[in-house]
Structure 1
C-alpha cells in the first residue's frame, strides 16, 4: 500500500524507547532511509513534506546520504534511489542471517538432480547480483556468475523477482519504455518486459533464451516477495543446446518445489 505523504511522521519506524537527548538531523536521515525501504525512489519535495521541513533542509540531509553512498541520484529523473552503501548493508545482513548457508543445501539438490550450473540471485533495484553458485560437473557447462551483476530484465533470475512486484512498483523501477540490452535477444522495451512478466506469473517460473549471454539458456523461480529484507531467486543455467520445452518445465517445477521447501525455513 502506498504510504500517505501528508505531513511529518513522528515516531515512524520506532521500536525502542525515545532517547533522552534526541538529535533531530540524525532522526530525519534515518526516517529518509526508512521511507526508501517502502518506495523505489524519492523526490526532494516528497522528503521535505514527509519530514515536515523546508526543502533546503531536506536537500542537506539528502546530500549527506548521497555523500556516504546510502542513496544515489538518477541523472535523468533526479530521483533519489538506494545507493551502494545501503545495498551493501542489506547484503551484509543477509550474510549474517546465514541465508546463503540455509539455501546452500537446496542449491546442491538442484545441482545434483539436474547436473547443471545453479545460482542464487538477489534483486537490487533494476539489477540482479549473483550471490551464490554451484557449477555443473559436465565438461561443457555454463560458468559461475558468482559476484556478477546484470540488468534484471536481461536474466531469468531478475525477471522472476520482478514478477513478484506489484505493477505500480515495476513501473516506478522502469519509468521509460526503452530498455538497454546485453544481447540481440534481450528485452528492449518495458512493454516486452510486462508481457514476459504476465507469462512468468502464469507459469510460476521465468525463462531466459540467450538474453544475458549468447549460448546460455536459463530457468528461475523467485522466493515470495517481502519474506526477506531482500528478494532472492534460484536459477539453473544451461548451454542453449541442452534446453528444450520438456527440460524447461522440469527445471521450473523442481526449482518451484525447492523454493517452497526453502521458504518454510524463513518464517
Structure 2
C-alpha cells in the first residue's frame, strides 16, 4: 500500500491482530517470519498493542494473543446497530417453531459475520460463535445475504474468493453458486 493517506504502522498493527486471530498464540519471531517484518518492528508494535490492552502475553511461554477488548469493541458495534435486538423476537419464534438453532449474520466483505444466535434444544448442535466469519458461498445464511444482489455485484464481491469445498454440497465455483442462488431467490 503506497497511498500517502495510509499509515504503515496502523496497517502493521492490524496485520498482527489479524494474524493472532488466525493463529492464536505467537511469539515475536513467529510473527516476524509470518508477516515478513523486522523483529524490532514487531516488538514495538506488540508492546504498543499490549499497553493499550489489545493483546496479552502468556507468562508461561511469553507468546502473545488477542485480548477480549477486541470482542468488546465488536460486540458494541453489533449492539449499537440495534439489529440483534430487533431480530431477537423473530429469531426466538423461528427457533421455537423449528426446534433448530437460529443465527443472525451480516455481510462483511465476502464473509458472513455472525452477530447473534439462539441455540438449538437438540442434543447434537452446530455451533457458530459470535464474531465468527465464514465465506458467503458456503452457508445457507451467507447465500441469503447475497441472493438478491445483481449478478455483477456478486461476481465482484466474490472475485478474489477461493471456493473451498467444506462439505459435499459446498459450491466450488462461481457458476455453480449463481445457479444455486437462482433456487434461493425462487424459494425466498
In which range does the TM-score fall when normalised by the shorter chain? 0.5 to 0.7
Q: CA RMSD in A?
A: 3.0
Given the two structures, how large is their TM-score scaled by the length of structure 2? 0.59
Partners in 2 of 1:172 and 1:66 — Cα distance?
Answer: 24
Check whether the contact 1:177–1:190 (CA below 8 A) recurs between aligned residues: no
Q: Which residue of 2 aligns with 1:61?
A: 5
The partner residue of 1:168 within 146, 152, 159 is: 152
| Partner SS state of residue 129, structure 1 | strand
Which structure 2 residues correspond to residues 175-214 of structure 1 after superposition, within 5 A? Answer: 175=159, 179-204=163-188
Higher relative contact order (CA 8 A, sep 6+): 1
Count of residue correspondences: 132
CA contact (8 A) 2:102 2:120 kept: yes
Instruction: Give 1:161 shift.
Output: 0.6
Contact persistence 2:144–2:184 (CA under 8 A): yes
Q: Provide the residue aligned with 1:134 in structure 2.
A: 118
Structure with greater proportional helix content: 2
- In structure 1, the residue corresponding to 2:120 is in which secondary structure? coil
Provide closer, same or farther for how the CA distance between residues 113 and 168 of structure 1 changes in structure 2, counting only shifts above 3 A.
same
Unaligned runs of 5+ in 1: 1-43, 45-55, 73-87, 205-267
State the secondary structure of the residue aligned to 2:103.
Answer: strand
CA deviations 1:145-167 (Å, max 9, x no partner) are: 43321111010111111113222
Q: For structure 2, which runs of at least 5 residues remain unmatched after alignment?
A: 19-71
| Cα shift readout 1:17-62 (whole Å, capped 9, x = no counterpart) | xxxxxxxxxxxxxxxxxxxxxxxxxxx9xxxxxxxxxxx7xx2114
